[in-house]
Every structure is written in structure tokens, then in C-alpha cells.
Amino acid sequence: MSENPDTIVIGGGIAGVSAACELVLAGAAVLLLETEDQLAYHSTGRSAAMLFQNYGPPNVRRLTRAARPFFMAPPTGFSEHPLVAPRGALLIAPPGQEDEMANLLADGDGMVPISLDEALAKVPLLRRDKLAVAAYEADAQDLDVHALHGGYLKCFRAAGGQVVTRAEVLALRHERGGWTIESKAGRFAAPVVVNAAGAWADLVAGLAGLGPLGIQPKRRTAVIIEGPDDGHDSAAWPLIDDVAQSWYGRPEAGGKLLISPADETPVPPCDVQPEELDIALAVDRFQNAVDLVVRRVEHSWAGLRSFAPDGDLVIGWDPRADGFFWLAGQGGYGIQTAPAASRLTAGLIRQGRAPDLILETGLDPAALSPARLIDS
């Protein structure tokens, strides 16, 4: 490389690219390394994301709240298209799950109970006999994942950031006050390494001589089916989410519907593919709640969602090695938290503190530190 970076980010998904962009804007000289020949291949590029305030544990919801202003009004020139579009989120519970809904409402933010008649007005094909209670989040938005990732990448490069693909990391050594990385694209060095390797985060830590944090990749399956053809217009339907998180569905372009069994099957880090059983579960659970016969599956895929043992994100310095920073364990929340998680990362690395917009949500950065997952 013609320039010496002070920070190397490992991983070109939304976590790595957004953090790299915010670091450059904060004055860092950043090199981003990606194993594949294209960025965002394994998780980000397979995400059907939404800006859904009531999705995830409390710290995820705090980061989502801090990220919302960015999504609603991104910087001038960030993207040629809006990052969000109104959608709404309808949560439903069958008989026997009323307590789960009550708990969600008690802990929710902007989620309000609605009558079954109101729920059926939003999605007329819901099976009324399968409904006990319902709630609605009016401010839930569709997210344009491609526009978000592309905007951060454009911003990163315009600010002087460099990207190297086909750069699988083979070794990491801490020497002479910095890190040396051996990769398939060559040797690189910098004082700071950001581990944003997604499903491979623990493996990258192992290469650096650090023990794993227990970051577990899990398979999530998505299925595309035909929408109703009997005069019902599904394009305006909200996201439909089962309160027990056993399935969800949402409209797609061209009158299609995306459905998922909300599976979280532990798998090794890999180019994950959908399983026939999960596809069948998605169809069965959808048809059990919605009066629509699925005649064929048009398309299916699977992506990786990586979780820390406690379900929270991992953002912070590793106390076992100078200059090694974790940005991992995003679970299914990486897209909706990216603007906040990336600014938190840049703040901790460049200023040694969390930005005010993060602290104002009540989030304690120490709660996301990898130190909580390291045996004493």
C-alpha cells in the first residue's frame, strides 16, 4: 500500500464498512480488508432489514433509537435514494401467548395495542380464530440495505479510505506497538485492528492469539412466495411478526411476499444455504396464521446472524491485547443499529469516549464491552 494506515478494519459487511467510514471521518487513515471478492456477501447482502424499534434486547433498542435520525435524514449525497420507506409492524399473538404480548407492550417503545378488527383491516387475510391480541408500531420502516451499505462505502472511499478484497487474514501478530496482518493479498500493519468479521470474528481473534468470546453464527432462512391473487392488495401490508418470533412475513416488490420461520440454527461460519425443513416450516407457520395457500416457493436463501452468548452486541477494546477492537455479535440487528454502532466505534477508538447521541439513550458502553465475555 502507498500509505500507512493507523487502523485496519477486518470485514466488509455493514458493520465494517460503516465503522470504517466513521473512523475516516474522525481523522483516521483506514484500510478495510475483505475475504471475498465482493463486500457484504454473507450476511449484509442477504438481509431483509427493517428499522423496527421494538426488535431486540434493550441495548439494541437504544442503538436503534440513536440510529433513527441518520436513516430518516442521511447526510447530503450519501445515497441517491431514501434509506427508508414507511411500512409499519403488526405483532400478533395466538391464544395462549397473551402474556408475551403484555410483556412486550410493557417494555416497548411506540408499540400500541390494537383491536382484532384493526389488525384485520391492516391484513385482511389473517385468520381471526388464530388471533388473541395484536399490537402495532406505526413508525417501523423498510430499510434499503443496498443503499445504506453503498452509501457508507462511497463515503469511505471519497474520504480517502482504501479497500482490499480477496484478503483473507492468515495471521495476526502484535509486535513493536502495532499489529501485522498476513493475508492472501499481502502484508499490512497498523496500531489498531477492528474485528468486524461477522461469523468469523472468533476465528480472527484466534489468529491474534486471543481466546474466543463465543460468537455463534446462526442460520436464518427467507422464502419468496406469490402474494394473494384474489383482489387483496398485499403491497400495503405491514410487517407481520409473531410475538413468539416463530415466523414473520412482509411484502416484497411485484406482489410477492417474503416469509421466514425466524430460525436460529447454530452453524459454523460458512457460505450458508437454506434447508428444505426450514422452508417447509416457513410455509406451514405462515399458512397457519394467514388464509393464503402457498402453491410454490419462488426463491429461498439463507444468511448468517452471529450472536454473543448474552445476545448483546460486542463493541469495545479487548483487555487482553493493545489495539484490538471488537465490533461483532450483531445478531439480526446489524443493519438497524449500524449508524449508531459505527459512531460508537469511532468515538471509542478516536476520542476514547462514546458520542453524546449514544449516551443520551441511556446506553452504558461498558455493557457492550468484550470484557464481559472474557473469563477472569
What SS3 string covers the chain? CCCCCCEEEECCCHHHHHHHHHHHHCCCCEEEECCCCCCCCCCHHHCCCEECCCCCCHHHHHHHHHHHHHHHCCCCCCCCCCCEEECCEEEEECCCCHHHHHHHHHHCCCEEEECHHHHHHHCCCECHHHCCEEEEECCCEEECHHHHHHHHHHHHHHCCCEEECCCCEEEEEEECCEEEEEECCEEEEECEEEECCHHHHHHHHHHCCCCCCCCEEEEEEEEEEECCCCCCCHHHCCEEEECCCCCEEEEEHHHEEEEECCCCEECCCCCCCCCHHHHHHHHHHHHHHECCCCCCEEEEEEEEEEECCCCCCEEEECCCCCCEEEEECCCCCHHHHHHHHHHHHHHHHHHCCCCHHHHCCCCCHHHHCHHHHCCC
Which of the four pLDDT bands, split at 50, 70 and 90, describes residue 268?
very high
What is the distance of C-alpha 56 from the center of its chain?
A: 11
Mean per-residue pLDDT, 145-165:
96
What is this structure's pTM?
A: 0.94
CB crowding 107-146: b at 16 or more within 10 Å, else e:
ebeebeebeeeebeebbebbeeeebebbbbbebbbbbbbe
Candidate from 44-58, 65-79, 254-268 with smallest mean pLDDT = 44-58
Q: How far is CA 119 from CA 25, 42, 124, in A?
A: 45, 35, 8
Which of the four pLDDT bands, split at 50, 70 and 90, describes residue 2?
very low
Which of the four pLDDT bands, split at 50, 70 and 90, describes residue 46?
low
What is the distance of C-alpha 115 from the center of its chain?
A: 31
pLDDT score recorded for residue 45: 58
Percent of the chain predicted with pLDDT > 70: 98
Would the pLDDT of 357 be above 80?
yes
Candidate from 86-100, 159-173, 185-199, 229-243 with smallest mean pLDDT = 229-243
Give me the chain's average pLDDT, please: 94
Mean per-residue pLDDT, 328-353:
96
Who contacts 117 (Cβ-Cβ below 8 Å, separation ≥6)? none
pLDDT score recorded for residue 230: 73
Would the pLDDT of 258 be above 50?
yes
pLDDT score recorded for residue 376: 46
The answer to whether 31 and 162 have CB atoms below 8 angstroms apart is: yes
Pull the grid cell for residue 84.
427508508
CA quadruple 52, 32, 24, 205: dihedral, nearest 10: 70
Pull the grid cell for residue 352.
476514547
pLDDT score recorded for residue 229: 83
Would the pLDDT of 3 be above 80?
no
pLDDT in tens, 276-291: 999 999 999 999 999 9
Mean per-residue pLDDT, 58-78:
96
Percent of the chain predicted with pLDDT > 90: 90
Fold of the domain spanning 89-138+216-307: D-Amino Acid Oxidase; Chain A, domain 2 (3.30.9)
Report the relative pairing of strands 248-252 and 256-260 from DSSP bridges. Answer: antiparallel
pLDDT score recorded for residue 309: 96
The answer to whether 183 and 170 have CB atoms below 8 angstroms apart is: yes
Q: Give CA–CA dist 367/313, Å, rounded.
A: 9
Mean per-residue pLDDT, 219-223:
96
CATH architecture of 7-52+145-215+310-373: 3-Layer(bba) Sandwich (3.50)
pLDDT score recorded for residue 1: 41
pLDDT score recorded for residue 48: 73
Mean per-residue pLDDT, 74-78:
95
Who contacts 5 (Cβ-Cβ below 8 Å, separation ≥6)? 28, 29, 30, 31, 162, 188, 190
Q: Which residue ranges does the chain devote to CATH 3.50.50.60? A: 7-52+145-215+310-373
Q: Which residue ranges does the chain devote to CATH 3.30.9.10? A: 89-138+216-307
